[in-house]
Structures are given as structure tokens and as C-alpha cells.
Amino acid sequence: MTQKNQPKIPDQPSLITSANREARPSTPPSAIVDFVSHSVAQTQRCGSQLAQQLGPGTVILLEGDLGAGKTTFTKGLAQGLGVEGYVNSPTFTLVNEYEGRLPVYHLDCYRLENGREALDFGIEEYLYGEGVTVIEWPERIREIWPSSYIRVTLSYLNETKRSLRVEPVGPEYVGLMQEFKKSAFGRSL
């Protein structure tokens, strides 16, 4: 991503209203990637392949039930960004930071009640920072989502299989998804 595609840091962070949310750009169906991962290793590989396309300021929202593979996906993403060492869910700390090609900010919002609590702990520094921000349980802070992001939805199918949907929201991520499809699947889908 180029510098001009970076989100503008608001002077005063404000909660997104329902009117603002409905004004968000829709995603062309051809930009959405749906597939089934057959193993932990495949889920991690998907995260690693996506990481190859990411630039500073990227926000990834991870949705899925407990055990769906959100942290597994994040481990692969961190590996793809050159993070060495153990990557785990920041359930009790809210944020884990890792150094790689780009900083990785791994947030877990499960314990937050709403976006105001996220703003109180300084989430805008991560959302509009120079790294890649990965948020588990983003639905807890839906009212402060940035206008552009990549949404990854993981669903449990059985003990080893997970359904993944990778959806770019915002024009700067639509082209990125085409490159992701080529690198992950060898072609544009």
C-alpha cells in the first residue's frame, strides 16, 4: 500500500454512527475469497500468504466462534510478516505486539463491552499505526471500525476443517485481494 492509501488519523476519535456505517463501500463479489482449510497448517499458510500482500496501516478483523481458528490464522499471518517466536492470543492482556517486516498488533476485544472502552485504552494508535493490526472479536467494538479493513470469517466445520471467508472492505484492499488469490491459489478466482 502506498502512503496515500493510509487511513487518516482522526484529530478526535469518534464513534461511527449507523449512518456512517451504511455509507461504507460495498465489496465486489469477485473480490471475496471463500475456501475450506483442511488442517491447522493450511489455515496458517493462508495467513502467511495474505501477509505477503500487506502494508503499514492494514487492519484485519477476525470473526468466528471460540475454536474457529482465529489465533491459528494470526500465527500464520505473523510468520508471513517475519515474526519469530511464539504467537498467542492476548485474551488477558488485550494486545500483544510482535516485531517483523512490519510490527504486528494482535488485539483481543472479547473482554471489552464496547468501542468506547477500546478508545479508552488507545486502540486508535493501533488502528492508524505503522503496523498490521489484527483484531479478534471485533464485533465487540463494531462502532469504531475503520472505514477500510480486511474481514476474515472463520467457521468450524469439523475437527480439522475450517471454512474461511476473506473479504476486503474499502477500495485499497480489493486489488490486494487479487494478488492474494494469485499467491495463495496460483490464479485469480
Q: 108-124: per-residue pLDDT in tens?
A: 999 898 999 999 989 99
For the ranges 1-5, 21-25, 132-136, 180-184, the one whose mean pLDDT is highest: 132-136
CA atoms within 13 A on the CB side of 133: 25
Strand partners for 150 = 60, 168
- Residue among 166, 170, 130 nearest 146 (CA): 170
What are the cell numbers at 9? 488519523
For residue range 125-150, list pLDDT tens digits in order.
999 989 999 999 999 999 989 989 99
CA atoms within 13 A on the CB side of 38: 0
Percent of the chain residues topping a pLDDT of 90 = 59
Q: Is the pTM of this model over 0.75?
A: yes
Burial tier of 60 (Cβ tally within 10 Å: 0-12, 13-18, 19+): buried
CA distances from 104 to 38, 44, 92 (A): 26, 15, 18
DSSP structural state of residue 73: H
β-pair type (104-108, 162-169) = unpaired
Rg of the chain's alpha carbons, rounded to an integer? 15
